[in-house]
Amino acid sequence: MTQTCGRPTRKQQPCRAPVQRIYRWPQPSHSGPACSSHLTDEERAAFDALKAEDDAEFHEAHQQAPACHSWPAVERVELNEWERGREQRRGPGTSEPFRMGRQLIAWQAGRCALCGGPGANVEDHCHRTGLFRGWLCRSCNTREGLWDTALFRQYRERPPAVIVGYTYQYDGYGCADGAEPEQWVVDVLGPQPPDHSPEAVAYLAAAAALDKPRHRPGNPLKRMGL
């Protein structure tokens, strides 16, 4: 519920405007004592000082690497009984995608690839290519689509799928038929390689490093105060 100011207006009615608020993930949010119009000079100075301190912490946090870049090296997972049977029936290498998928799950171990916290239950994918990148918590998945700081750029260029070497075409929410690559990416990098292949992993990383063409001038970080 939004906290309102409550201080008297010129008509001596409680002000219904929301209080001044700072919210810069991953820091906790801060709320001022009143709305912008009803802050005293002392309160405004204190709030501005807090905002400057919070902005500095935000910039420092978003220069860090994503959590998955500090995790121990990936350990190979051997074929299980079902996969070995598949190899015998269909030939060597036919179970490699299944083994790699299990290896990725075991390595990420339910942790969010960005913040490192538990509960990474969102299947994140690259909107440029439609390829799976890894699992994120819901908060990080939402913010990844909104912010373009160094933290998120590092994640996009080297997500768990690139680290482990396994990716596939995302077919989850809103993409039941499989997420399609954006045409401008195909124009630059060529046709997208098949799922599960090392070429698809390289394609995913290369697409993240591209500068997206802009139809109109403007700073994409301006709306984030960066």
Instruction: Output the pLDDT for position 19.
Output: 86
pLDDT digits (tens, 9 = 90+) for 171-223: 877 676 778 899 999 999 999 999 889 999 999 999 999 987 765 444 444 44
208 with 135, same domain?
A: yes
185 with 85, same domain?
A: yes
Task: Yes or no: say if 134 and 159 are a contact pair by the CB < 8 Å rule.
Answer: yes
Domains of the chain: total? 2
Domain boundary among 61, 82, 111: 61
50 with 117, same domain?
A: no
Domain boundary among 5, 34, 61: 61
Tell me whether residue 162 is in a domain: yes
* pTM for this model (two decimals): 0.73
36 with 143, same domain?
A: no
SS3 state at 217:
coil
Instruction: Output the pLDDT for position 221.
Output: 45
Tell me whether residue 189 is in a domain: yes
SS3 state at 216:
coil
Instruction: Output the pLDDT for position 224.
Output: 44
Instruction: Output the pLDDT for position 199.
Output: 95
Instruction: Output the pLDDT for position 24.
Output: 63
Task: Yes or no: say if 163 and 68 are a contact pair by the CB < 8 Å rule.
Answer: yes
SS3 state at 70:
helix
- pLDDT tens digits for the chain (226 residues)? 678 888 899 888 999 989 888 766 555 677 888 888 888 889 888 888 888 777 777 666 667 889 999 999 999 999 999 999 999 999 998 999 999 999 999 999 999 999 899 988 899 999 999 999 999 999 889 888 888 888 899 999 999 999 999 999 988 776 767 788 999 999 999 999 998 899 999 999 999 999 877 654 444 444 444 4
Write out the residue range of the structural domain in which residue 54 sits. Answer: 21-61
Tell me whether residue 111 is in a domain: yes
Instruction: Output the pLDDT for position 213.
Output: 76
Tell me whether residue 4 is in a domain: no
167 with 131, same domain?
A: yes
- Within 8 A by CB and 6+ apart from 162, the residues are 133, 201, 204, 205
Tell me whether residue 145 is in a domain: yes
Q: Where are the alpha helices (DSSP H) in the chain?
A: 41-61, 81-90, 96-108, 138-144, 150-157, 160-164, 183-189, 198-209
